[in-house]
């Protein structure tokens, strides 16, 4: 054996201590290399986070500056000041419950609207900034005129630099008649859009709980649940069939996310509709006509986003995901307490914001499988998305921001002026169906603690801090989120989708 082989030589000459010494030295050298590489990676990650936070703060200060400047230049009109004063008064102390009850009754009862006919013009005027009434229960000619006004309105917003998503405003359908009317609204909207020429796209959002009665019955795998699921899928497929007949213009439908009870059902139906109706679900440009929503206040939202990305990669297209903070917080906590189970939402608001930012980063790093839409009124979150796009060298046109119609209009104008796409989410449809929704917007605007209301008053203290996962439980779950969201799934189609 050649002495050029040091290990064999040492063993042959029976120098075990010298062999062990050399072996340990070699191991220490390898460990040193790994630790150096890990330290370099950690330092690089730390530098990236510092750069990202610095960029976020720069964009945040820029947005705040322009908001304050617009407030000084653009004084509210007298009619708007009167309307805001009435809204604030209606939500003041005991008046809030009375106003909410009145709006609910006016929305649910035709008799109440008949008896209080003299109140309806005032209610309509106060609700005007938050929803766009479209009455479709009249003659075909009248319905066509209503839709024509709607398309003209959308065209006007597009000239100002805004895109639009329409939602048939209202809550759960309580009768078969309600569900049929809800679906008919979307089908009529698509049909009228095909004839109109004012706008080049039609984007819509719908709720499964309004598309059918008793959505609870669709949860599960028994015969009744599967039958109800087929009913829902058939209704959406009918809309996709109508959308596929529109030539040279985009028609897009997004399924809104509702209570946690329906989350898995919603994602399951979305995937099944696309997989089983690929020709209808994918347009001529290879883009999906159907999309979903993920709620960042849920602790498992990051896993859902990753699973959707892997699913899209396996299917060969990009999945449209709209990420929001979430709107059913009180409900989810009450249900969890009632059932004695762990609540599916984060325990602390900053944890929701940190989760939102982590998900935004993941979506922007995986644009080959995700079409991102960032829905938030929080200017800190918006600034963070801008900084992420800079960090990853992503063009502004590769994603869009979304905000509710009538909420934070100054912020929308600032973001559009900065060159970013902005889509307004417009509740439209029957005024009575929209009154509960208007009441919720009244409550938010009048609240002294609401982050958007404070931002619009020039108080930015509520959103200046860097969000992080707070509390032992949130920090533990947050570490899992950060590990998931740090993975780039491009080319990882072979990885199993975790449930």
One DSSP character per residue, 362-421 reads: HHHHTTTTEEEEEE-S-HHHHHHHHHHHHHTT--GGG-EEEEETTSSHHHHHHHHHTT--
Residue 295 belongs to a domain: yes
Contact indicator for 323, 294 with CB cutoff of 8 Å: yes
- Local confidence band at 114 (pLDDT 50, 70, 90 cut-offs): confident
Q: What does the alpha-carbon distance between residue 356 and residue 301 come to, in Å, rounded to a whole number?
A: 9
Task: Tell me what the mean pLDDT of segment 307-319 comes to.
Answer: 96
Residues 338, 205, single domain; the answer is yes
Are residues 37 and 81 part of one domain?
Answer: no
* pLDDT higher than 90, residue 469: yes
Q: Average pLDDT of 461-486?
A: 91
Q: Is residue 498 part of a domain?
A: no
Q: Identify whether 490 is part of a domain.
A: no
Are 95 and 25 contained in the same domain? Answer: no
Give the mean pLDDT of 431-453.
81
Last residue of one domain, picked from the residues 40, 58, 76: 58
CATH label of the domain that carries residue 404: 3.20.20.220
Are the CB atoms for 217 and 189 separated by under 8 Å? no
Cα distance between residue 228 and residue 223, in whole Å = 9
Count of CA atoms in the C-beta half-sphere (13 A) of 178: 20
| Confidence class for position 498, pLDDT limits 50, 70, 90 | very low
pLDDT at 295 over 90: yes
Our count of domains for the chain comes to: 2
Per the CB < 8 A criterion, the answer to whether 286 and 249 are in contact is no
> Among 136-145, 182-191, 350-359, 385-394, whose mean pLDDT is lowest?
136-145
pLDDT tens digits, residue range 275-294?
999 999 999 999 999 999 99
Indicate whether 458 belongs to any domain.
yes
pLDDT at 95: 83
* One domain, residues 297 and 420: yes
Is residue 204 domain-shared with residue 249, that is, in the same domain? yes
CA atoms within 13 A on the CB side of 10: 11
State mean pLDDT over 412-429: 96
pLDDT tens column, 225-283:
999 999 999 999 999 999 999 988 999 999 999 999 999 999 999 999 999 999 999 99
Mean pLDDT of 422-426: 97
Please tell me whether residues 402 and 316 are part of one structural domain.
yes
CB 182 within 8 A of CB 168: yes
**Which of 423, 410, 426 minimizes the C-alpha distance to 131?**
426
Query: Taking a C-beta distance cutoff of 8 angstroms, is the pair 324, 301 a contact?
Result: no
Q: Are residues 22 and 83 in the same domain?
A: no
Any domain includes 491: no
Query: Is 85 part of any domain?
Result: yes
In a domain, 150, yes or no: yes
> In the structure, what pLDDT confidence band is assigned to residue 496 with cuts at 50, 70 and 90?
very low
- On whether both 18 and 134 belong to a single domain, the answer is no
Residue 22 clears pLDDT 80, i.e. is over it:
no
Identify the pLDDT of residue 269.
98
Tokens of 166: 């329409």
Q: Is the residue at 69 inside a domain? A: yes
101/22 same-domain check:
no
Q: Are residues 103 and 51 in the same domain?
A: no
**What sign for the dihedral angle of Cα 344, 347, 351, 352?**
positive
Task: Select the more confidently predicted residue: 463 or 290.
Answer: 290
Q: Is 0.85 surpassed by the pTM of this model? A: yes
Question: Integer distance in angstroms from the first to the last C-alpha of the chain?
Answer: 56
Both tokens of 450, joined, read 């609401």
What's the pLDDT score for residue 83? 84
Give start and end residues of each alpha helix (H) in 75-139: 78-90, 95-108, 110-115, 120-127
d(CA 374, CA 413): 16
Range of the domain at 14: 6-58
What percent of the chain is modeled with pLDDT above 90? Answer: 61
Tokens 């396996």 locate to 314
Q: Residues 29, 125: one domain?
A: no
* Predicted pLDDT of residue 20: 59
Residue among 131, 140, 115, 87 at smallest CA distance from 431: 131
* 240 and 345 part of one domain: yes
Average pLDDT, the chain: 88
């Amino acid at each position: 054996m050649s002495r050029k082989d040091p290990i064999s030589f040492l063993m042959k000459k029976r120098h075990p201590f010298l062999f062990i010494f050399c072996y340990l030295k070699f191991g220490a050298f390898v460990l040193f290399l790994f630790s150096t590489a890990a330290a370099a990676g950690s330092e690089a990650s730390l530098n990236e986070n510092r750069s990202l936070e610095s960029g976020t703060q720069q964009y945040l200060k820029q947005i705040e500056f322009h908001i304050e400047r617009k407030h000084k230049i653009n004084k509210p009109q007298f009619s708007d000041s009167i309307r805001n004063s009435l809204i604030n008064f209606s939500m003041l102390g005991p008046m809030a419950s009375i106003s909410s009850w009145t709006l609910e009754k006016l929305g649910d009862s035709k008799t109440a609207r008949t008896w209080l006919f003299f109140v309806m013009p005032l209610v309509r005027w106060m609700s005007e900034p938050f929803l766009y009434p479209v009455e479709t229960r009249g003659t075909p000619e009248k319905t066509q005129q209503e839709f024509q006004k709607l398309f003209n309105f959308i065209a006007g917003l597009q000239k100002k630099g805004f895109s639009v998503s329409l939602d048939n405003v209202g809550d759960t359908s309580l009768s078969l008649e309600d569900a049929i009317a809800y679906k008919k609204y979307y089908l009529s909207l698509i049909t009228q859009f095909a004839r109109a020429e004012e706008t080049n796209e039609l984007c819509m959002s719908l709720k499964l709980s309004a598309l059918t009665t008793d959505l609870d019955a669709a949860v599960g795998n028994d015969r009744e649940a599967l039958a109800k699921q087929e009913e829902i899928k058939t209704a959406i497929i009918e809309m996709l069939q109508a959308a596929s007949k529109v030539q040279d213009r985009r028609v897009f439908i997004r399924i809104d996310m509702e209570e946690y009870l329906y989350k898995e059902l919603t994602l399951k139906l979305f995937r099944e509709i696309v997989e089983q109706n690929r020709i209808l679900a994918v347009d001529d440009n290879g883009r999906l006509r159907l999309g979903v929503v993920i709620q960042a206040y849920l602790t498992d939202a990051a896993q859902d986003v990753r699973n959707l990305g892997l699913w899209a990669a396996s299917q060969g297209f990009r999945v449209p995901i709209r990420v929001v903070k979430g709107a059913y917080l009180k409900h989810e906590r009450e249900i969890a307490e009632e059932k004695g189970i762990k609540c599916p939402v984060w325990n602390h608001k900053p944890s929701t914001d940190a989760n939102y930012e982590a998900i935004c980063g993941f979506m922007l790093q995986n644009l080959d499988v995700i079409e991102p839409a960032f829905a938030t009124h929080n200017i800190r979150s918006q600034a963070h998305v801008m900084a992420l796009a800079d960090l990853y060298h992503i063009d502004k046109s590769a994603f869009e921001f979304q905000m509710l119609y009538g909420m934070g209009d100054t912020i929308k104008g600032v973001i559009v002026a900065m060159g970013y796409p902005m889509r307004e989410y417009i509740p439209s449809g029957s005024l009575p169906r929209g009154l509960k929704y208007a009441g919720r917007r009244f409550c938010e605007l009048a609240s002294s603690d609401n982050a958007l209301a404070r931002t619009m008053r020039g108080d930015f203290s509520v959103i200046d801090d860097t969000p992080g996962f707070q509390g032992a439980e949130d920090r533990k779950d947050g570490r899992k989120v950060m590990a998931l969201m740090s993975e780039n799934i491009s080319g990882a189609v072979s990885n199993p989708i975790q449930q």
